[in-house]
Amino acid sequence: MEKPVIIGVGMVPVGEHWRVSLRDMAVEALLNAMEDAGIDKVDSLYVGNMASGSFIEQENLGALIADWAGLGNIPAVKVEAACGSGGAAVQEGAKAVMSGLEDVVAVVGVEKMTDAWPSDATRFLGYAADAEWELFHGASFVALNALIMRLYMKTYGYTEEDLAHFAVNAHRNGAKNPYAMFKKEIKLETVLNSPYVADPIKLFDAAPMCDGAAAVIITSKEKAKELGVPKEGMVELAGFWRAIDTINLANREDFLTLKAAKVAAEKAYKMAGVTAKDIDFFEVHDAFTVMAALSLEALGVAEKGKGAMLAKEGQIAIDGDYPIQTMGGLKARGHPVGATGVYQTVEAVLQLRGEAPEGIQVPDAEVGLTQNIGGTGSNITVNILRRV
């Protein structure tokens, strides 16, 4: 089956946007992407969003955003897979194009988190867990990840410092990304001296609460040519899949394996005809530092239990063997939950077009991978992008 291509990208800087609403951000990112693609209409819209109903008391985002972006009476719908909503929305847009039903599809990922009181926001993020068996007991999302981190450290003999390298790397790259929330490098001590949120996860092991929106335009190669898009303006979505795992962490066979990422990655690699060795950079879901380690293991980049070694040894830097979080990752770029998967896609496209900011462009990047996690690994998307 013919693989779809991304012909336009747009985003707004991630941050605490007190003066801007969800619809403003989504429309701006969307229009940026359409302008980038050189088009003024699309056949349909897919919105990646996790919890607009809770955060801003607004559902029906398909209608809201398509209406305010002036897209006319097109099909528009919200795609939800917790923090993995953005990556999932990109896949739904790609499927629509591959089916032949829709020619030019827009995907926008958006989340407005800072309109909610922090403890309420913590609760809303907890809705991605099992409400009756996890949130009921007072489990925050950070707490569930902390249970995993403590076990990971104990099982493989890592320290908090070992995992802190992931945060340092993310900030080093994010400092050069104008769209990142934290454009500031940090030292290991910054991470280690930050207060515990849920031991052993400290403030600087975790991604921030924030607002943001990012968008991509997806079409077929044939249609892209018809629209006059040059070859270098196209990035192929070469392989993609997603899979679920138990929603309740306690029910998982192995707390330290992201099984859903393994399944999704195997299928995506096969569809793209590549292996982990062929990938030039990885945008993994580092909502918490331990998730970056587990992701590298699930994606086949590191053996089980060795993910944190790659950070310790510096192999995840831009000039390392396995660059990750090239634009700051969730930790430094920011993690507006339902938008994150689309930000990752936009960043991968910029890398593959050679348009990443100076200092964080991966030289001669041909293939990139984005991995977007919903829940504590319960709903994971893997997308592989390739230069046409």
Partner 1 sequence: MGKPMQVARHWRHFEEKYALIGGKCENGHLMFPYREICPVCGSRNVEKHKFSGKGKVVSWTIVRNPPSGFEYYKPYPLALVQLEEGPVVLAQLTDVEPEEIDFGMEVEMVTRKVREFDEDGIILYAYKFRPVLKPQKE
> Is 171 one of the annotated active-site residues of the chain?
no
Helices assigned H by DSSP within the chain: 22-37, 52-56, 61-68, 85-99, 118-126, 141-156, 160-174, 188-192, 221-226, 259-272, 289-298, 307-312, 329-332, 340-353
Site residues (vs partner 1, CB under 8 A): 117-120, 122-123, 126, 132-140, 142-144, 146-148, 150-151, 154, 195-201, 246, 248-251, 255
Question: Using CA atoms, how far apart are residues 90 and 6, in angstroms rounded to an integer?
Answer: 10
| Crossing angle (nearest 10°) for helices 160-174 and 141-156 | 120
Catalytic residue among 17, 165, 171, 335: 335
- Other CB atoms within a 10 A radius of the CB of residue 143 amount to 18
Quote the least distance from Cβ 161 to partner 1, whole Å: 18
**CA neighbor of 80 nearest in space, from 274, 339, 383, 286:** 339
> Is 17 one of the annotated active-site residues of the chain?
no
**CA neighbor of 270 nearest in space, from 238, 303, 237:** 238
- Which is nearer to partner 1, 150 or 183 (by Cβ)? 150
**CA neighbor of 51 nearest in space, from 107, 125, 109, 115:** 125
Place of tokens 């982990």: 276
Provide DSSP, 169-206.
HHHHHHTT-TT-S------HHHHHTSPEEETTEEGGGB
- Which is nearer to partner 1, 68 or 156 (by Cβ)? 156
Quote the least distance from Cβ 301 to partner 1, whole Å: 25
- Which is nearer to partner 1, 254 or 358 (by Cβ)? 254
Query: Pairing relation of β-strands 76-79 and 44-48?
Result: parallel
- Other CB atoms within a 10 A radius of the CB of residue 306 amount to 14
CA distance to 131, 295, 296, per residue, from 305 (Å): 30, 11, 10
Question: Using CA atoms, how far apart are residues 19 and 4, in angstroms rounded to an integer?
Answer: 36
- Which is nearer to partner 1, 58 or 246 (by Cβ)? 246
Q: Which two tokens stand for residue 289?
A: 């530092």
Catalytic residue among 83, 165, 171, 285: 83
Quote the least distance from Cβ 134 to partner 1, whole Å: 6
- Which is nearer to partner 1, 68 or 255 (by Cβ)? 255
Q: Which amino acid is at 280?
A: D
Quote the least distance from Cβ 257 to partner 1, whole Å: 15
Does the N-terminal peptide bond of residue 200 adopt cis geometry, omega within 30 degrees of 0?
yes
**Residue 177, φ and ψ in degrees, nearest 5:** -100, 115
Quote the least distance from Cβ 153 to partner 1, whole Å: 10
- Which is nearer to partner 1, 101 or 151 (by Cβ)? 151
Quote the least distance from Cβ 245 to partner 1, whole Å: 11
- Which is nearer to partner 1, 142 or 264 (by Cβ)? 142
Quote the least distance from Cβ 198 to partner 1, whole Å: 5
Which residues are annotated as catalytic? 83, 335
